[in-house]
Structure 1
């Protein structure tokens, strides 16, 4: 990550470097997640030359496993599909993604970076070469493109299918506990808040009440989100989830093609998935760590121990 971030900064022309390079102490800009088409800090990939664009994508690839990078690139390409679907009125573009680096990756012990645009927001925070790799947001609109009943594109299929498999595995009694509302929310509950679990209660079915098959499916679903990260980071995150109880909650109908939502919540884990459009074809997913998003826990400990 240090090498890729340093290479990117060196590849940026002066004006773009001024937009992309921010101080680590710029808290409002650094503690940021925005997956809607809105103005955002950073340098836009569309304004970069070929070498700088490739450097930005190589930095993004350091944060994602190969399959998650493929998901991300499909999400980026869907901007052109969505623009055509909307009659070209919004002017969406597959290069409308922004990159920002906070601090100096070549010299600082404490720095971070973000790659972000519509339906994609990846933030990595680094302190003393330890990576704090959340939030990681992936969305898709359209979530499914089909022809003659056959799927052409469905980048977040594993997230939906394994969530449904868990709902099936917990059985009728478990579903009565897990389904906390017949209506799906309009969006994931954490939204664009820099605080992951504000006002989100751990409702639904507790992991301790699951049978062996359902518990194994829950573990697979958690691993699916952690495996968005490179193997070394995913393994480290798996050891940091903590020993608290996990809860699985579902909102909305259970029939495919309808608006629905689920989340998995623990002491330092929040996974959310929704499919928000009326035809259930617009998906949002996020992996967050309430205590360590944006490096919160280690930075708080550092501030407490250091005179400023």
Structure 2
């Protein structure tokens, strides 16, 4: 991989699996564009890739119920919808794809939870048809990318030559985070949540103190939907997580009310937000201080995020963190309660790694999770190096 995973994360000498993944997504993307009528194709694709307007849109991503850019599923014919889902599947492991599909379908459950009342200025506010696809550049060109996104979902990939250059930012959320089923429970993000809680609970008192970033959980992921993250970033409030102004004053008032309730629930002041800002150095307990069993838990937790990528990339990450030299550089931090069902947040930090998870809103039944590469999100490091080489 050119950019995905950063230095030291390589799929090995035999790159056949990675080349096959790139060929598959290139073929499906080309099929999708060919299947669209001209008016929809013009909205689905942005060219040329190097145009500044294209790049500005490529890094403008969301996880709120707003226009994510491109063409939504609801405007597509069944075969076209199927091609969008095939494209999404090429960018994820099967487990991650199943999770993404569950998140899309969960919009129907959320609609019922909210009494079918929230519309966000649209005909239907919670709508599994409002997940957008957008392709940047021409599939098969040396540099191109794509995005599938909607409420609680953003999958972003960059392709360079026949390599997967970037797979972050990658966002998955769930509202409700826990839903009763007949003789069961639906928890799309329950696995990563339980792994992190088990790890935190397993720590002896001194390490638990080191891991505790704050006694109360922040009300959202701190990195938000920034194109790039850096030390000192603080949580973005909900009002700034939409594509432009909301279409009606009542919706602005709704967002203000949601944010106010979330902030009141967290009890955070400006000083608290400052304390939870993204650190310049990894914060929490270091993997080097964990037992063998705890390190195994941490490896599995990391994989729950890095598996949000094609199998070749996911396998490379697993090999990377199997190496103790790389795992030892990862830190685990926690904020809030360790009791299931109560507000909590956790964070993984390390070289080219940022993971955040929060489950605080709606009575700790609304989860957000994100995987990012602070140096290589969207492959911006690769693109910058190309521009530098061209300039010389």
TM-score after normalising by structure 1: 0.94
Q: Given the alignment of the two structures, is residue 223 of structure 1 paired with residue 303 of structure 2, yes or no?
A: yes
Aligned residue for 2:345, secondary structure, equals strand
Is residue 58 of structure 1 aligned with residue 138 of structure 2?
Answer: no
Q: Which has the higher helix share?
A: 2
The corresponding residue for 1:15 is 39
SS at structure 2 position matched to 1:274? strand
How many Å apart are 1:171 and its aligned residue?
2.1
1:252 is aligned to 336
Question: Does structure 1 residue 122 correspond to structure 2 residue 150?
Answer: no
1:16 CA drift (Å) = 1.2
1:160 aligns with 2:193: yes
Structure 2 Cα separation of the partners of residues 10 and 40 of structure 1: 22
Partner Cα distance (2:68, 2:305) in 1: 25
Q: 1:99 maps to what in 2?
A: 133
Structure 2 residue 180 is matched with structure 1 residue 170: no
Shift of 1:117: 0.1
Q: Contact 1:166/1:218 (CA < 8 Å) preserved in 2?
A: yes
Task: Tell me which structure has the larger Cα radius of gyration.
Answer: 2
Alignment of structure 1 residues 67-82 onto 2, 5 Å:
67-82=95-110
Task: Please report how far the alpha carbon of residue 235 of structure 1 lies from its aligned counterpart in structure 2 after TM superposition.
Answer: 2.1
Matched, 1:271 2:355: yes
Report the number of matched residues: 306
Specify which structure has the higher proportion of strand. 1
- Residue 228 of structure 1 and its aligned partner are, at CA, apart by 2.6
Cα distance in 1 for residues equivalent to 2:292 and 2:317:
23
The answer on whether the counterparts of 1:121 and 1:137 sit within 8 Å (CA) in structure 2 is yes
SS at match of 1:279: helix
The corresponding residue for 2:76 is 48
How far apart are residue 237 of structure 1 and its match? 3.7
Asked if 1 retains the 8 angstrom alpha-carbon contact of 2:178 and 2:185, the reply is yes
Q: Residues 216-252 of structure 1, C-alpha deviation per residue, up to 9 Å, x if partnerless?
A: 2111111221123232111234466794721111011
SS of 1:306's equivalent? helix
User: Residue deviations 1:239-268, cap 9 Å, x none?
Assistant: 667947211110111111111100101110
Give the drift of 1:41: 1.4
- Taking only aligned residues, the RMSD between alpha carbons, in angstroms, comes to 1.8
Structure 1 residue ranges without an equivalent (≥5): none
Equivalent position to 1:193, from 226, 229, 242: 226
Distance 2:152 2:358 in 1: 13
Matched, 1:235 2:315: yes
Q: Supply the distance in 2 between the matched residues of 1:186 and 1:84 (Cα, whole angstroms).
A: 23
The structure whose RCO (Cα within 8 Å, separation 6+) is larger is 2
Judged with a 3 Å threshold, the aligned counterparts in structure 2 of structure 1 residues 239 and 298 are, in CA distance, closer, same or farther, namely farther
Asked if 1:204 corresponds to 2:284, the answer is: yes
* Deviation (angstroms), 1:144: 0.4
Q: Which runs of 5+ in 2 are unaligned?
A: 1-24, 119-123, 233-277
> Do the aligned residues in 2 keep the contact of 1:190 with 1:198 (CA within 8 Å)?
no
Assess if the C-alpha contact under 8 Å between 2:201 and 2:338 holds in 1. no
Preserved contact between residue 169 and residue 217 of structure 1 (Cα < 8 Å): no
Q: Distance in 1 between matches of 2:192 and 2:79?
A: 33
